[in-house]
């Protein structure tokens, strides 16, 4: 049986190149201080400790986004949400981010993260029954700009398979749900089982995402 500590150690082994490791790398331009990676590790550890033994659902998307887990340490979760949780740290970003004034003042907001949280709440699901994760655990970005997102390459996804398998083992009793068809295809190739998929909430997909989640959760 994998442990959370083993998963965290596996996360250290991120691929090189244009990939940011939120739990072990410091972003000198956008992190508040040298403690940021440790804060994100502690957030992730607390998040998983409260969930993996009871999780009913494991939602898996593609990769960490710069507005989400890059600063929060949690997949599909942004800094703007953290003050309402029992996680130990509420933000790691510097308050002079080259983003909106609201992001600077309140922490970075990720629309996808907010939609996911609202949908779970509206469906009556206890947040501790849900684990959010990504096929590729880290943050892939465009060259020279960590405040961007990009699709991970097949080689990067392959590199990250030990982490994904560790998460699947940690949440072995949870129902696996892919967020987006791309993720569904990837998870089918990896697990040899085609998980149910819901529409990704980005790019106008919020309504379809919510409908898909409700249909799956009510089965």
pLDDT value for 99: 93
pLDDT value for 191: 83
CA geometry: angle at 182 spanning 180 and 184, to 5°?
70
- Segment 70-86 shows an average pLDDT of 96
Q: Which long-range contacts (CB under 8 A, 24 or more apart) does 97-103 make?
A: 97/30, 97/147, 98/147, 99/147
Tell me whether residue 64 is exposed, middle or buried, using C-beta atoms within 10 angstroms of its C-beta: 0 to 12, 13 to 18, 19 or more.
buried
Percentage of residues of the chain with pLDDT beyond 90: 86
- Segment 163-167 shows an average pLDDT of 93
CATH topology of domain 4-217: Uracil-DNA Glycosylase, subunit E (3.40.470)
Residue 152 has pLDDT above 70, yes or no: yes
Residue 1 has pLDDT above 60, yes or no: no
- Segment 162-191 shows an average pLDDT of 91
pTM of the model: 0.94
């Amino acid at each position: 049986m994998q442990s959370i500590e083993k998963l965290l150690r596996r996360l250290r082994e991120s691929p090189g190149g244009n990939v940011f490791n939120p739990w072990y790398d410091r972003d000198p331009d956008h992190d508040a201080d040298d403690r940021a990676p440790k804060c994100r590790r502690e957030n992730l550890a607390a998040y998983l400790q409260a969930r993996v033994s009871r999780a009913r659902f494991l939602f898996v998307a593609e990769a960490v986004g710069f507005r989400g887990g890059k600063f929060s340490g949690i997949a599909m979760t942004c800094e703007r949400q953290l003050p309402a949780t029992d996680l130990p740290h509420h933000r790691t970003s510097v308050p002079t981010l080259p983003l909106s004034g609201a992001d600077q003042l309140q922490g970075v907001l990720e629309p996808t993260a907010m939609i996911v949280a609202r949908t779970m709440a509206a469906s009556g699901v206890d947040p501790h029954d849900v684990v959010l994760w990504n096929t590729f655990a880290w943050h892939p970005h465009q060259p020279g700009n960590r405040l961007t997102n990009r699709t991970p390459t097949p080689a990067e996804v392959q590199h990250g398979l030990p982490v994904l398998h560790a998460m699947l083992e940690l949440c072995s009793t949870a129902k696996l749900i892919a967020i987006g068809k791309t993720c569904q295809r990837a998870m089918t190739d990896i697990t040899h089982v085609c998980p149910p998929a819901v529409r990704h909430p980005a790019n106008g997909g919020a309504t379809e995402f919510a409908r898909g989640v409700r249909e799956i959760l009510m089965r």
